[in-house]
Homo-oligomer: A and B are copies of this chain.
Amino acid sequence: MYSLGELAETLGVHLDGDPEVRVTGLSTLALAGPQQLSFLSNSKYLAQLERTHAAAVILRPEQAGQCPVACLLSDNPYLTFARATALFAGEARPPAGVHPSAVVAFDASIHGEAAVGPNAVIESGATLGAGVIVGANVTIGADCHVGAGTRLHPGVVLGRGVRLGEHCTIHSNAVLGADGFGFAPSASGWQKIHQLGGVRIGDRVEVGACTTIDRGALEDTVVEDGAIIDNLVQIAHNCHIGKNTAIAGCTGLAGSTIIGANCTLAGGVGVVGHVEICDNVHITGMTMVTKSITEPGSYSSGTPMSSTRDWKRSAVRFAQLDSIQKRLAELEKRQPK
């Protein structure tokens, strides 16, 4: 619980209201009660602002006049709101130390301020930095390194030799460091290419639940500082994800894909292997990226949704597009000039 005065000071914003009022949590403008803080970042919610029962609202100075309650004035209310969520985050920090049910190899090195949860397994030669939190039933393979302040939620698996930077968050059942999908055809079937590279993750990276990041074939698979990756994303061997790039759920990257910095891939995108996407590219949802992208901007593929009846008509014609174009060219040829 915080007073509005404490909040203003912690968030570095100006308070217009009673600093003694106490706030127990955050909520939306529509649902917030008199002990909750809310925010306005999108002006389409102005009508809700005027009716809010929140204790206070984070908003831009020019909107303060329309606010019926106390204001926390910010030039970037969404960012100030994001910072405020950290103050009310519900997840308790487990006490430092290794739970007696965890199995830790004798030659693993665990910082005295790290916390290792029940039934976690830490294999030979792994090192955990200060403030690392390892959830229940996590497995950390041999020779992994987990940087200071990084949290592994329950069920995460790190294969051997995975290197995680500092202050990362890896969500439950994500798998970092499984073998890349590399096989050579032979007369007797597929010959496995043993994956000798590793996985290297920078600082402040977030990896979603059930996301998979494979180890490289010869060199490492790399995710740079500040990248954020959602749930159920597949990152194949030898991909390289640039700094602060965001990848939404159900996206799949084939092997050796290189993605620049500050890109955003919406959900369900697929990228073929061995292509390169430059910095500052946005890819819309479910796009199939089949070639390199060398210019910043927004890219798309797919067809729009319609009723299945209408869609079937268009879909039939799609298969006739080449003949439609030829018929059109034929008509054009016959036109008088």
Residues of A within 8 A of B (CB): 25-28, 31, 76, 78-79, 81-83, 85-86, 88-92, 99, 101, 103, 117-119, 121, 123-124, 135-137, 139, 141-142, 153-155, 157, 159-161, 169, 171-173, 175, 178-179, 181-186, 189-196, 204, 206, 208-212, 214, 217-219, 225-226, 228, 230-232, 234, 236, 243-244, 246, 248-250, 252, 254, 266-268, 270, 272, 282, 284-291, 297-322, 324-325, 327-328, 331-332, 334-335
Across the interface, A183 reaches (CB within 8 A) one of B214, B228, B282, namely B228
Contacts of A315 in B (CB 8 A): 300, 302-304
Residues of B within 8 A of A230 (CB): 181, 234, 236
- Residues A137 and B135 in contact in the complex (CB < 8 Å), given A178-B231, A190-B244, A249-B252: no
Q: List 15 extra interface pairs beyond A81-B184, A82-B191, A331-B332, CB under 8 A.
A: A26-B218, A85-B196, A90-B160, A103-B119, A137-B137, A141-B154, A181-B231, A249-B254, A250-B252, A286-B288, A287-B305, A291-B305, A298-B308, A298-B309, A317-B321
Q: Report copies per complex.
A: 3
A275 to chain B, nearest CB (A): 10
Which of A78, A250, A297 neighbours the largest number of chain B CB atoms within 10 Å of its CB? A250
* Nearest residue, chain B, Cβ from A227: B190
Chain A binding surface SS class: loop
Task: Give Cα A186 to B322, complex, Å.
Answer: 46
Q: Are A306 and B317 closer than 8 Å at their CB atoms? A: no
Chain B residues whose C-beta falls within 8 Å of the C-beta of A328 in the assembled complex: 324, 327-328, 331
